[in-house]
Structure 1
């Protein structure tokens, strides 16, 4: 296996980790409007991800940085062609982070309500747009012989990509609902489980359509196995949620995300960004990669830094592992 193949796998791993962790993070943000009945319950939901949301976004920074360094042609074409949706995602992530930090700075009802609206919308929009973006990457976009994107924003809003957006939105919200049930006590825990069941059934219908479409269009044996794992894991997540086994349900919903993302990257390889104009113009792991020397240096750096970051983040989750409820939230001043 060449180093550019290794880095394709590593980038797939980083995106998988990002969607696994930021997935429930986005889902909890959406649930601040769908599940919480009052401000105290919204504070409970926000506090479940308060210690970890910013660490989850490190995976996005790592995935973007690794793509820039390992596959500069892929990075250039992707970020120029998808400029507007990626800019919207970036804007939402900035506003969302500010909302988490500033929401409690003042006691006025309007101040806190506005920031809570920001948390909801800036969780929902990226959760949808990431699915649209990856749907287009897998489907293929208009890339010419100079490795430049020559389409427009309207080309990105095709049925396949929009279905992908709905899948990531519902899957992340389901993942967040299961995480909420796992991290809370009392009435909100029971309502989170009930909502997770309904979200899981909706997700199953949408995901089966999207993954089936993907398999029919670009799939092979490996991607079919990943698809089966994703579907079985999603069914198991719904079943264990109904049985009140939140830990198992969260694990299975995580496996669903991992298997679904793995399927997308399996159907993509050896391309990194297929061209819908001419297959010969597609960006591949070979023609879009950096020099072997650059990849070698990156491999040494990643081999040292990545395990340390993962250990630290795992320790953070362990420290903040206990459940919380409205009884743990102090009354507003």
Structure 2
């Protein structure tokens, strides 16, 4: 295994961490008007992700930075070809972050309701568009011989990519509902359990269809195994939530999300951005990579600092592990 392969694997791991962790707080944000019946319950839901949502976004920043440094050609082609959807995701994430910080700045029902709508919008857009983006990366796009995107925005909205968007959307909804069932008490917990079972069935059906389509067009036995594990983990998680085992259900849901991402990267390898115009124009882990010296320096930096980041984030989740409910919210 070369350093190119190491950093392709490292970037895949970073995306796994991002989708597993940011996935459930996207789900919580989208479910704000669905599960909360009053302002106090909305505060409970927001407080479940309040200490961790911004830390979860660090995985995205790190994945983007690692792609820029390790595979600059991939980064350049990706951000030029996917400029509009990535810009929409960025605007949504900014709006969502501002909403979390500003909704409590004024004691006004209308003020809070408007910012709550921003939280829902800022969670829905990335949950949908990340699936569209990754589906197009796996499927391939119109790359010319100069590795420049030759298609249009509408080319990205193909049936396979839209199905990928629906998969991430429903999967994050189910993941968020399971997290709420794990982190809350009282009526919110009960409503979250019921909703998780219902949305989870839809997510499982869409995920099986999407992963099956992916394997049929470009998969192998190596990539099919993670897809099967992801589907089984999600179904087992739904069974656990039906029995009231929220901890096991969330663990299995996280495994399903993570392994599904791994299966996509397994299908993609050794390409990083396939070309549908001519396979010879595809970006690979070889022709898109930085110099060996750059990759070597990055490896040492990652070995030193990554364990510190993981320890800090694990400590944060441990400190804020307790369930919360309406009684924990002051008047």
After superposition, what is the alpha-carbon deviation per residue over 1:57-86, rounded to whole angstroms, capped at 9, x for unaligned?
A: 000000000000000000000000000000
Q: Does 1:261 align with 2:261?
A: yes
2:145 counterpart SS class: coil
1: distance between equivalents of 2:239 and 2:171?
15
Task: Report what 1:79 is aligned to.
Answer: 79
1:105 counterpart SS class: coil
What is the TM-score with the length of structure 2 in the denominator? 0.99
After superposition, what is the alpha-carbon deviation per residue over 1:271-295, rounded to whole angstroms, capped at 9, x for unaligned?
A: 0000010001000000000000000
The within-5 A match list for 1:86-165 is 86-165=86-165
The within-5 A match list for 1:1-333 is 1-331=1-331
2: distance between equivalents of 1:243 and 1:110?
39
2: distance between equivalents of 1:288 and 1:15?
19
1: distance between equivalents of 2:39 and 2:120?
13
1:272 counterpart SS class: strand
2:272 counterpart SS class: strand
TM-aligned CA deviation for residue 108 of structure 1: 1.2
TM-aligned CA deviation for residue 180 of structure 1: 0.2
TM-aligned CA deviation for residue 317 of structure 1: 0.2
TM-aligned CA deviation for residue 110 of structure 1: 1.2
1: distance between equivalents of 2:40 and 2:278?
55
TM-aligned CA deviation for residue 264 of structure 1: 0.2
What is the TM-score with the length of structure 1 in the denominator? 0.99
TM-aligned CA deviation for residue 265 of structure 1: 0.1
1: distance between equivalents of 2:225 and 2:146?
35
TM-aligned CA deviation for residue 160 of structure 1: 0.2
Structure 1 unmatched runs, 5+: none
TM-aligned CA deviation for residue 220 of structure 1: 0.3
1: distance between equivalents of 2:196 and 2:117?
22
2: distance between equivalents of 1:155 and 1:34?
33
After superposition, what is the alpha-carbon deviation per residue over 1:113-172, rounded to whole angstroms, capped at 9, x for unaligned?
A: 100000001101100000000000000000000011111100000000000000000001
After superposition, what is the alpha-carbon deviation per residue over 1:149-208, rounded to whole angstroms, capped at 9, x for unaligned?
A: 111100000000000000000001100000000000001101100000001101011111
1: distance between equivalents of 2:28 and 2:298?
34
Please report the RMSD computed on the Cα atoms of aligned residues, expressed in angstroms. 0.5
1:74 counterpart SS class: helix
1: distance between equivalents of 2:242 and 2:323?
19
Runs in 1 of length 4+ with deviation above 6 angstroms? none
Aligned length: 331
2:17 counterpart SS class: helix
2: distance between equivalents of 1:27 and 1:50?
14
2:31 counterpart SS class: helix
